[in-house]
Amino acid sequence: MTVLVLSGAIGAGKSSLTGMIAKELGTKAFYESVDDNPVLPLFYADPSKYAFLLQIYFLNTRFHSIKAALQDDNNVLDRSIYEDALFFQMNADMGRANQTEVAIYKDLLGNMMEELKGMPKKNPDLLVHIDVSYDTMIKRITKRGRSYEQIQTDPSLVDYYHRLLDYYDPWYKNYQYSPKIRIDGDRYDFVENPKDREIVMGQIKDKLHEMGKI
């Protein structure tokens, strides 16, 4: 029995790969709520006003998901609480959050991480990180068609998306909660190409075999 968490930028294919892993390994998939998120459109319309509220909303939903996943011990999550600080740190660095909001957020996140230490399973078994370039990211964002995510609608998102990709490399290098594996989302189109999907699933299963998890 294993708990896997996925990470990667917007449009990396986390939800798609989560479903594939769940089907292949016979695990339960946990998906982050996006389409019914009442704060996300507000954030894209006015980032400085809603960055803190959005992050608290996501932190709460991710905390619920990781608690449930660590209790059942046979799950895969398309995004987890371990990735949460990356987004808020970036928004804070961009001036979209004040120091009081940063302090409150860090204190709340710290309390939640301490709570997870008391769970039957304290950490996930494997982090699956999907690397994508800016071009691949934009291609997938365009294809799924959420209007508030489109650079044609809001050109300022070009800088936002580039910044986000820049933040992921150091985040992945510093991630220490579990073993980890990187998937090349530019080289392998696991969403559209069955052969690429098979290769990526093979990489994940090989890592789990190496760890003695399957």
Return all residues near 115 (Cβ < 8 A) that are at least 6 apart. Answer: 63, 67
The answer to whether 202 is annotated as binding is no
Query: Which contiguous run of DSSP H or E holds residue 139?
Result: helix 134-144
Which residues are known catalytic residues?
A: 78
| Residues sharing a CB contact under 8 Å with residue 99, sequence separation 6 or more, in sequence order | none
> 89: number of CA atoms within 13 Å, CB side?
14
Q: Quick check: 34 and 141 in contact, CB under 8 A? A: no
Interatomic CA distance for residues 189 and 104, integer angstroms: 39
- DSSP class of residue 190 equals T
16 annotated as ligand-binding: yes
Distance CA 109, CA 98 (A): 17
Does 79 count as an annotated binding residue? yes
Q: Is 44 annotated as a binding residue?
A: yes
Establish whether 84 is an annotated binding residue: yes
Q: Is 100 annotated as a binding residue?
A: no
187 is in an annotated binding site: no
- Tokens (6 digits) for 115: 């709570």
Beta bridge partners of 198: none
On whether 141 is known to bind a ligand per the annotation, the reply is yes
* Segment holding 45, helix H or strand E: helix 40-45
Is 26 labelled a binding residue? no
10 annotated among ligand-binding-site residues: yes
- Please indicate if the annotation marks 55 as binding a ligand: yes
Burial of 120 (0-12, 13-18, 19+ CB in 10 A): exposed
Residue numbering of the annotated binding site for ATP: 8-16, 140-144
Residue numbering of the annotated binding site for substrate: 32, 44, 55, 79, 84, 149
